[in-house]
Structure 1
């Protein structure tokens, strides 16, 4: 069991001061401004896994900032990784402002000022990796700090999997196992940073192509979601809707049309299967994200020249 630091038994007038001290002991000194009325409440479970500092934090809404004065008091430093469990968090560092929710990774550098705002009660896992052990060039570290990393694919998914399943403040490992696990996390994170650096050096055209591939992959995996739209795609990729449309300017289609076309292709494929237990046209349309059967019928006919029911019947005759 990790060390538990909680405001539960602290008098109301002392809770905020206790929280400042608890954060400083578990992670690094910061200034906290509560964003809620009434006595502040918070709980930290702090532990170590090898050279990693690991904390689970559950607390009320707050704005936490690490100032130049805080930074000047320490010579060592950490790369911080925040994994939201509930609520949202907004990070500001180096002129960048990014927001994250469950399924994302926020990355920051404790040797430079930053702030983290959580506008509602939240829970997060925070992992601090000593900068000195990463052995990364400053330029490469600067590419990833003050950013949000997609944790649903690639190295981001691998990092968050380790941090949420194995790297916990409550799990007790033997010293050799903890050291190996910490080294694995550090190496994997360094690989993620190296990938970011490689993408930056590849030039804007290759970055654009890779981004479009990621967007297409996201769309492919969410076709059945009726709420899938340019807005939800842009949010999932942490880009603006305007930039999303700019990316698709060279794709000879729009994002909305691409989503609709892929849904129609899946519907046409499924309707072609036939068989006695074949689903109804309405069921197929609903499965692939079409909310209105009438709308589905109209757009299907505009693309394939016949209504979806006739499409299915024609395939049954051929069989």
Structure 2
């Protein structure tokens, strides 16, 4: 991973340094600061993911222009898929303008002029992907640019959650594994935009990988929600329950089994806290409404009842 930060520079040089960072980490761009002053705050963390470059960038408010002169100076052919993590951005390309807010994402094409307006402090997770293979998957490539794509549900939610999960990868992944994950991300993003039917068929395994990863992340983040169930998950991802179940066919755990197992593990963590709540409160917190049922399945999972589990944790090591 490579990291650039303006904190490494004297205040009067920070913005000029930032301009150089953007051109090196992304493509040739013309940044314009929105707040005048001596210093400027910005940080970029970049790492490869196969042929894709994954970059986390955070900065103060600014405009970013890629005009004809920047394209002529740096004629590269990439697509940027930008996931808005904090703040908002007005993105403009090919006569289309969209407001992209936190949780949404958009794409731009480096071969034509585009404009990004970050009006406040912001943070974006950006993926630079090779242009030709990405656009080849789309039914309407030109219509894809500068659209606000919601990350709240359906394929957009899959894409967003899968993209976020890529931030936590082990840096020692093999080149083949990185390329597989890069392909999966491209597949789910193009599916959100409207991929060609023959492409969807070819990329079925990659889409399943991304969808499965996104669902697992969603489950882990919503375990305390009493309404979490296969039905609510399928509705959020806009898929049938049959499609959801099929994602877990090769897994030792079903969707319901994963929810139950993770809730038991979270409840076990709570039981070991020094200032823990009562066993009943912990069971209720993690979606177990029947204490006797909770005790039975807890013992099946950990080999001890909740009370025995707590007592064992208090015994000094022999």
Residue of structure 1 equivalent to 2:268: none
Please name the residue that 2:9 is paired with.
10
How many residues of Structure 1 are paired with residues of Structure 2 in the alignment? 197
Work out whether 1:162 is the aligned partner of 2:162. yes
Greater Rg by CA: 1
Deviations 1:175-226, CA, capped at 9 Å, x for gaps: 12101101111222232333599xxxxxxxxxxxxxxxxxxxxxxxxxxxxx
In the TM superposition, what is the alpha-carbon distance from 1:61 to its structure 2 partner? 0.7
Structure 2: runs of 5+ lacking an equivalent = 198-318
Cα distance in 2, alignment partners of residues 36 and 170 from structure 1: 38
State how 1:211-250 maps to structure 2 within 5 Å: none
Question: For 2:79 and 2:145, how far apart are their aligned partners in 1?
Answer: 8
Equivalent-residue separation in structure 1 for 2:169 and 2:111 (angstroms): 23
Deviations 1:270-304 (A, max 9, x none): xxxxxxxxxxxxxxxxxxxxxxxxxxxxxxxxxxx
SS in 1 for 2:35: coil
Three-state SS of the structure 1 residue aligned to 2:7 is coil
- Helix, strand or coil for the counterpart of 1:190? helix
Match of 1:150? 150
How far apart are the structure 1 equivalents of 2:73 and 2:170?
A: 29
Note closer, same or farther for the CA distance 1:114–1:14 as it changes in structure 2 (3 Å cut).
Answer: same
Name the structure 2 match of 1:178: 178
For residue 74 of structure 1, report the CA deviation from its aligned partner: 3.6
Q: Can you list the C-alpha shifts for 1:16-44, whole angstroms capped at 9, x where unaligned?
A: 22111111111111001111232111110
SS of residue paired to 1:150 = coil
TM-score, L = length of structure 2 = 0.58
Q: CA deviation at 1:154?
A: 2.0
- Structure 2 CA distance for aligned equivalents of residues 37 and 86 of structure 1: 22
Three-state SS of the structure 2 residue aligned to 1:103 is coil
The answer (yes or no) to whether the contact 2:139–2:196 under 8 Å persists in 1 is: no
Contact 1:12–1:40 (Cα < 8 Å) also in 2: yes
Indicate conservation of the 8 Å contact 2:137/2:196, yes or no. Answer: no
Cα root mean square deviation, aligned: 2.3
In structure 2, the partner of 1:43 is: 43
Partner of 1:106: 106
1:172 deviates by 4.3
SS of equivalent residue, structure 2 residue 127: strand
Equivalent residues in 2 for 1:301-312 (5 A)? none
Indicate the larger mover: 101-110 or 71-80. Answer: 71-80
Tell me if the contact between 1:44 and 1:55 (Cα under 8 Å) persists in the aligned partners. yes
Secondary structure at 2:148's aligned position in 1?
strand
Alignment of 1:36-115 (within 5 A): 36-38=35-37, 39-115=39-115
CA distance in 2, matches of 1:154, 1:196: 18
Looking at structure 1, the residues matched to 182 and 88 of structure 2 have their Cα atoms a distance apart, in angstroms, of 27
Q: Give the deviation of 1:156 after TM superposition.
A: 1.3
Do 2:138 and 2:190's aligned partners in 1 also have CA atoms closer than 8 Å? no
Q: Tell me, in whole angstroms, the C-alpha distance in 1 between the residues paired with 2:155 and 2:86.
A: 22
Structure 1 unmatched runs, 5+: 198-319
Report if the CA contact (8 A) 1:47-1:170 is conserved: no
TM-score by length of 1: 0.57
CA distance, structure 2, for counterparts of residue 70 and residue 136 of structure 1: 25
Equivalent position SS for 1:192: helix
Alpha-carbon distance in 2 for matches of 1:169, 1:34: 33
